Amino acid sequence: MSILEVSNLSIRFGGLLAVDDFNLSLERNELVAVIGPNGAGKTTIFNMLTGIYRPTTGTITLEGENMVGLKPYQFAQRGITRTFQNIRLFSNASVADNVKMAATMHTTDNLAQCLLRTPKMVRNERALDEKVMRLLERLNMADKANLLAKNLPYGDQRRLEIARALMTDPKILLLDEPVAGMITTELEEMAQLVKQIREDFDVSIIMIEHHMNFVMPIADRIKVLDFGKTIAEGTPEVVQKDPKVIEAYLGGAYQNVDA
């Protein structure tokens, strides 16, 4: 049974139909990539899947529960978390605190316990810190735990965004261009990381990405968007050979990369 069911999702901004009839049935632990040229509506789909935009029509169902109309924080609390294309870290907080902030919704301490800093609260804080450090270790960032997020190099900021999203214990992780602006060596690392996350955390992943040689080897399925419409769908091999896709998006570009 699929974990996320998206059907007939459309959104209209004024006269512009930004996303037209998007459908997706996401299996548990599956990795789906959404590709398409700039302005195809990819990030808009993410914004609808995380409650930032409310779709004009269509339904989003997570494990049988209707999600349309919920607030963004409720999407996160029910298990859909995302990273952002234009990095949105809590820049004046430390790396460890950035990750801890994403665990706010799991807090069991009430206000009085926090104000008085009771032994129980300190114990919970320590447990949280240990959990955060384990997560950071997996992402090779443990040594940077006390740095401010804004002082991290670019690649680390992207990884911190992923760490932060994982801290919410998501069922579905949405990665919005995780390797945008990264250099080739970092691409390989990130591909490894995404694979590892998928195995270790038992999450389903939807990913927006431009880099074909990053997407092709790790995605189970690819959906290709153009002007808000889904023009092709299938395994990387199938999509790669689809003439519509080659015309609309890949063109000569992918063949260049491939060569």
**Which residues of this chain interact with another protein, rule CB under 8 A?**
43, 47, 50, 52, 71-73, 75-77, 81-82, 84, 88-94, 96-97, 100-105, 107, 109, 111, 114-117, 119-131, 145-146, 164-165, 167-168
CB of 69 to another protein, least distance (A): 15
CB 7 within 8 A of CB 58: yes
Q: Which is nearer to another protein, 168 or 240 (by Cβ)? A: 168
Q: Which is nearer to another protein, 7 or 85 (by Cβ)? A: 85
CB of 79 to another protein, least distance (A): 10
- Kindly give the residue spans of alpha helices, DSSP state H, lying in the chain: 42-49, 72-78, 95-101, 111-116, 119-138, 154-167, 184-201, 212-218, 236-241, 243-245, 251-258
> Read out DSSP for 82-103?
E--SS----TTSBHHHHHHHTT
> Which residue do the tokens 């040229």 mark?
37
Q: Which of 176, 147, 141 is closest to 159 using CA atoms?
A: 141
CB of 133 to another protein, least distance (A): 9
Q: Which is nearer to another protein, 130 or 143 (by Cβ)? A: 130
User: What one-letter code names the amino acid at 59?
Assistant: T
Query: What is the spatial distance between Cα 70 and Cα 55, in angstroms, rounded to a whole number?
Result: 11
The set of residues, in sequence order, having a beta carbon less than 8 Å from that of 88 and lying 6+ positions away, is: 161
Token pair listed for 160: 């911190």
CB of 234 to another protein, least distance (A): 29
CB of 94 to another protein, least distance (A): 8
Q: Which is nearer to another protein, 31 or 48 (by Cβ)? A: 48
Q: Which is nearer to another protein, 163 or 225 (by Cβ)? A: 163
Q: From edge to edge, which strands make up the β-sheet containing 221-226? A: 80-82, 172-176, 204-208, 31-35, 221-226, 229-234
Q: Which is nearer to another protein, 143 or 247 (by Cβ)? A: 143
CB of 119 to another protein, least distance (A): 7
